[in-house]
């Protein structure tokens, strides 16, 4: 028994436009997907809590120290030399005196905090504050 051949070989030119459009859309999705924040990425700090601490109205510059003693400045891990250079640049760019805000983990030693304050002083920043989380209030009777 012979089957009839209904299949024709493609004899027209190959149209690339639909494939190019699909490829372009895939590239756009991948490119935009890289801009989405990824949970769990970043440093994990266990910052102490405190209540009724005053804030500051002056311009600030922030430095973070994690439990391993790594320094973070402008969302990057930096060395002490790079931190000193970055703080010096921040002082030169600012028109008002800056205050250093230290975001430190609970396990960071006092010696490390003092060393960080002295680095800031050498860069021209004479005030330093420790960042804390606000203490949670448990109901209306918790505050005198």
Q: How far apart are CA 86 and CA 123, in angstroms?
A: 9
Contacts for 66-70 with beta carbons within 8 Å, 24 or more apart? 66/105, 66/108, 67/105, 67/107, 67/108, 69/108, 69/112, 70/43
Q: Tokens 């990425």 correspond to what residue?
A: 41
Convert the pLDDT of each residue in 11-25 to its tens digit.
667 788 889 999 999
pLDDT tens per residue across all 144 residues of the chain = 676 677 666 666 778 888 999 999 999 999 888 877 665 556 677 777 777 667 777 888 999 998 888 899 988 899 999 999 999 999 999 888 898 999 998 899 999 999 999 999 999 998 888 888 776 666 555 444
Mapping DSSP to helix (H, G, I), strand (E, B) and coil, where does residue 61 land?
strand
Would you list the domain boundaries of the chain?
Answer: 49-134
- What pLDDT is stored for residue 144 in this prediction? 47
Convert the pLDDT of each residue in 45-58 to its tens digit.
777 777 766 777 78
- What pLDDT is stored for residue 87 in this prediction? 93
- What pLDDT is stored for residue 1 in this prediction? 66
Domain 49-134 in CATH 2.60.40.10? The answer is no
Q: Tokens 């680095």 correspond to what residue?
A: 119
């Amino acid at each position: 028994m012979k089957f009839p051949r209904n299949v024709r070989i493609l004899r027209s030119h190959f149209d690339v436009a639909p494939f190019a459009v699909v490829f372009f859309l895939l590239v756009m999705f991948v490119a935009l997907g890289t801009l989405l924040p990824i949970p769990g990425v970043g440093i994990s700090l266990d910052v102490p809590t405190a209540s009724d601490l005053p804030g500051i109205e002056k311009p600030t510059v922030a430095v973070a120290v994690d439990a391993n003693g790594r320094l973070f400045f402008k969302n990057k891990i930096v060395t002490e030399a790079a931190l000193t250079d970055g703080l010096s640049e921040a002082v030169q760019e600012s028109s008002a005196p800056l205050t250093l805000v230290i975001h430190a983990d609970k396990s960071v030693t006092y010696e490390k905090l003092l060393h960080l304050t002295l680095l800031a002083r050498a860069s021209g920043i004479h005030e330093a504050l420790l960042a804390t989380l606000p203490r949670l209030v448990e109901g209306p009777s918790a505050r005198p």
